[in-house]
Amino acid sequence: MKISRKLAIAILKYLDKNPRFYFPFLVMCQEYGPEDDDFVEICYNEWQLIEEDESYKTFELWENLQDLREDTTQLLAK
């Protein structure tokens, strides 16, 4: 699912400050490497780098349904 740069940074910031929160998606960026056009997973603690460098533009959320907890499954089902 495509998301805006602003939303990607907000998600990364939140997840960095709340490491126990389970987010069932990966934040992916297409412009992570200058020679690479593939999407790359962004680590939560990289939000400042992403925020400071305008060259990161194309973001998507990819499902990451590994290690789902029961309470997360119930919340997603609502």
pLDDT, tens digit only, all 78 positions of the chain: 999 999 999 999 999 999 888 888 999 998 766 677 788 899 999 999 999 999 888 999 999 877 777 776 777 677
Sign of CA dihedral 68, 74, 77, 78: negative
Domain hosting residue 9, numbered range = 2-77
Q: How many domains does the chain have?
A: 1
pTM, entire model: 0.80
